[in-house]
Structure 1
Amino acid sequence: MKVPMLDLSEQYMTLRDEMLQVMDEVMKSSRFILGDNVKKLEADVAELSHVPYAVGVANGSDALHISLQACGVKTGDEVITTPFTFFATAGAIARCGAKPVFVDIDPVTFNIDPKLIEEKITPQTKAIIPVHLYGQMAEMDAIMEIAKKHNLYVVEDAAQAIGATYKGKTPGEYGDTATYSFFPTKNLGAYGDAGMIVSKHQTIADEMRVIRVHGAKRKYYHDILGYNSRLDELQAAILNVKLPHLSEWSELRRKHADRYSALLKEKLGTKVVTPIEESDRYHVFHQYTIRVERRNELQEFLKEQGVATMIYYPKPLHIQPVFAELGLKEGDFPISEQAAMEAISLPMFPELTEEQQDIVVEAIAKFYQ
């Protein structure tokens, strides 16, 4: 049996009739941009996030960019974030004309280490982007304390963490905004690109709504430089079908994660470092990521055994060619660099079976034996 990294087909089949119905309704309505489905999704995601405002956008990358622009980040500013994340986090900073300033990660959670943030703050620092990586929120109390002390905006990159909590609060309850991605592989995934921004601030939410439609408060009258980043009505309809299932899917992911950890510890002991859910957090396990020695060899072996895996992320952002002008080098962020050599994500999706998990763990054990 081959074990895929993710299998979206089974999920679709369980929802197929409802999906076809809502897609047909959108087609019949001929309303494809910013219609009632978008409004419903915005209201429901705002409620899920315990904040009053949500703004649907084209994708998670735009969600970050629009958030920063609405917070006033511009050329000459600096924004602090982590180098161990998807490119979009730092890419959004650069697209605003600002400078990404990197801070190393906590070796246990893979999230930004708050103890290292303050030393990177300068008079040019405008904001912090903590990334809630793999589905576990960063240490937001400490981050917010630093932000308040230095009068900085906080944009939470929650692309992988919808439904997660830190001390009972969701992304968006802490920062000025939080951004979600609904890329098809996410815990709540569309059938194409889609994203959302949530906020507790009306002024920021109003600004983001203007930015997403070319900077126009009313059509053809442009007050600011925005761009086209609207959530598609068809994608919103699909997400409206999926959203009521999110809590159940999150619980299944957590159940799979617990079982993976128990099996790996039983079969391999200390040869594998399994993920840890901090006691004050609710981890939604967008990825189940372990740390191992000889990671690349293991990945190749698992591929031969029919087990799919992914590496998130093989090269930290500070040593990516696109950011060469920052003058950073290998060795500057050793914990991120070590994680990039050791981290590997195993198959994880709600419909994952125990038989599939057994195959994955047995293959890993076989490699290290």
Structure 2
Amino acid sequence: MAVVNPHQFFDLPAESPDTLPYFHAVLGDGQLFRYVESERESANTAVERFFAGYFGKEAAVAVANGTVGLRLSLQAAGVKPGDRVLVSAYSFIACAMAVASVGAVPVPMDMDTALTVDAAALKAAEGPVAAVMVVHVQGHAVPVGRVRELCDALGVPLIEDVCQGVGAASPDGRAGALADIAVTSFQQSKQISSGEGGLVAGTADLVERVYRLSDLGAVRHGGGLPDWDDERAVMADNLRLTELQAALVMDQATALDDTLARQRANRARLKEALGSQVTVLDSEHPAGDSGSHTLFVARTASDAQQFCAALKAEDVVARVVWKKTFLEYGVFRQSGLTDELSSQQWPKTAVALGPRILSVPVSKYVPESGVARVAEAVLNHRQHLAREW
């Protein structure tokens, strides 16, 4: 078995049955649909209450996945076809694709070497901006205070993609806390996983709009039967989270502090073992990172591939996080969405640095001996890693 298994952020056999009360309650009554027809409170409701509080928002709604959460958030915030939305250039393609899926144009915000977005891109944006989406990467929180100030000055909503950043914090606070809309994911490799799943947190009015957009457009008075005659009903899709998924999420949410503590401890051990021989790509506030991944920078893109292959041979997982920015994928070039962007808007740092950023995940299940083996593998192949960038 691999020392660091990227699919082992949640491993059901590794948990005691006594720690999975929500999961067993759902299995016990067989109510797998989010609208539970029994005295048991819906696990979806518990998840929504937990994360509304966690992100400091008025309300939250669970949805099918994080990408859906981003798309519905944009729709609920009033982003229209042709609008321009600033998006962290160094991010998964789903972030920009969510913008494109509502007919808007994703405009990249470049990064610096501490994974922080360039707020100047917002201040000097060429043309009006309808919303800003900041993405927290691989458990590293982006400081969003300056972006928050600029969004307030422009009167546009700030969306924080916390899909990879649950539990992370910067000097500006917890990831998601300063956003108008915080979106997270429960996909396999996240801090909390149900295979797929997502959540949107924000104001009560915005969450209600997302709720309808994910529930076939219906208005549910007091969470009851769907009402499609209500004038607030809309045409929409079914993008709900199941009870079984929500139960898995809730059982892990109750143990989130422990998960973060164990990951941070493993990451600290790894960094200590590496010492001064390897340079780690840290955020501006390493103590606030969730500890889920340790990042390095390869000398070249070719070195990045060789490093990953070498660690794989030693049964340790290492990956290039994202080989391209969203602008460089054929699907965006062919769409014509990037044609109107000037050369000044292309993210030079993200394009140059992105293919060289490497990630080693550290599951909370990895023992100290496993962390030592990861460190040994990294040190064995440190010739591929850059000391500065």
Structure 1 pair 234–152 and aligned structure 2 pair: CA distance change class (3 A)? same
- More displaced 10-residue stretch of structure 1: 58-67 or 34-43: 34-43
Structure 1 pair 342–330 and aligned structure 2 pair: CA distance change class (3 A)? farther
Amino acid at match of 1:97: G
Measured in 2, the distance between the counterparts of 1:51 and 1:262 equals 37
User: How much identity, in percent, do the aligned residues show?
Assistant: 24
| Paired residue secondary structure (1:273) | coil
The aligned counterpart of 1:6 is 6
Match of 1:307 among 302, 310, 316: 316
Structure 1 pair 132–9 and aligned structure 2 pair: CA distance change class (3 A)? closer
Amino acid at match of 1:142: R
The aligned runs of 1:330-345 (5 Å cut-off) are: 332-345=346-359
Q: Is the 8 A contact 2:9 2:189 kept in 1?
A: no
Match of 2:259 among 249, 266, 277: 249
Would you say 1:149 and 2:153 are equivalent positions? yes
The aligned counterpart of 2:116 is 111
Q: Is the 8 A contact 1:135 1:162 kept in 2?
A: yes
Measured in 1, the distance between the counterparts of 2:21 and 2:137 equals 34
The aligned runs of 1:1-369 (5 Å cut-off) are: 2-6=2-6, 8=8, 11-18=11-18, 22-35=22-35, 36-108=42-114, 110-123=115-128, 125-167=129-171, 169-190=173-194, 192-199=195-202, 201-218=203-220, 219=226, 221=228, 223-266=233-276, 268=277, 272-279=278-285, 282-293=288-299, 294-324=303-333, 325=336, 326-327=338-339, 332-368=346-382
Amino acid at match of 2:116: N
Measured in 2, the distance between the counterparts of 1:180 and 1:10 equals 16
Structure 1 pair 6–220 and aligned structure 2 pair: CA distance change class (3 A)? same
Q: Is the 8 A contact 2:144 2:172 kept in 1?
A: no
Structure 1 pair 164–365 and aligned structure 2 pair: CA distance change class (3 A)? closer
Q: Is the 8 A contact 2:264 2:290 kept in 1?
A: yes
Structure 1 pair 273–339 and aligned structure 2 pair: CA distance change class (3 A)? farther
Q: Is the 8 A contact 2:164 2:185 kept in 1?
A: yes
Amino acid at match of 1:33: F
Query: How far does residue 220 in structure 1 lie from its aligned partner after superposition?
Result: 6.0
Query: How far does residue 252 in structure 1 lie from its aligned partner after superposition?
Result: 1.5
Measured in 2, the distance between the counterparts of 1:279 and 1:335 equals 20
Query: How far does residue 9 in structure 1 lie from its aligned partner after superposition?
Result: 8.3
| Paired residue secondary structure (1:361) | helix
| Paired residue secondary structure (2:135) | coil
Amino acid at match of 1:214: L
- 5+ residue gaps, structure 1, are none
Question: What is the TM-score with the length of structure 1 in the denominator?
Answer: 0.90
Amino acid at match of 1:318: L
Measured in 2, the distance between the counterparts of 1:57 and 1:10 equals 19
Structure 1 pair 168–152 and aligned structure 2 pair: CA distance change class (3 A)? closer
The aligned length equals 361
The aligned counterpart of 2:38 is none
Structure 1 pair 126–359 and aligned structure 2 pair: CA distance change class (3 A)? same
Measured in 2, the distance between the counterparts of 1:288 and 1:17 equals 30
| Paired residue secondary structure (2:34) | coil
Measured in 2, the distance between the counterparts of 1:355 and 1:314 equals 31
Structure 1 pair 168–12 and aligned structure 2 pair: CA distance change class (3 A)? farther
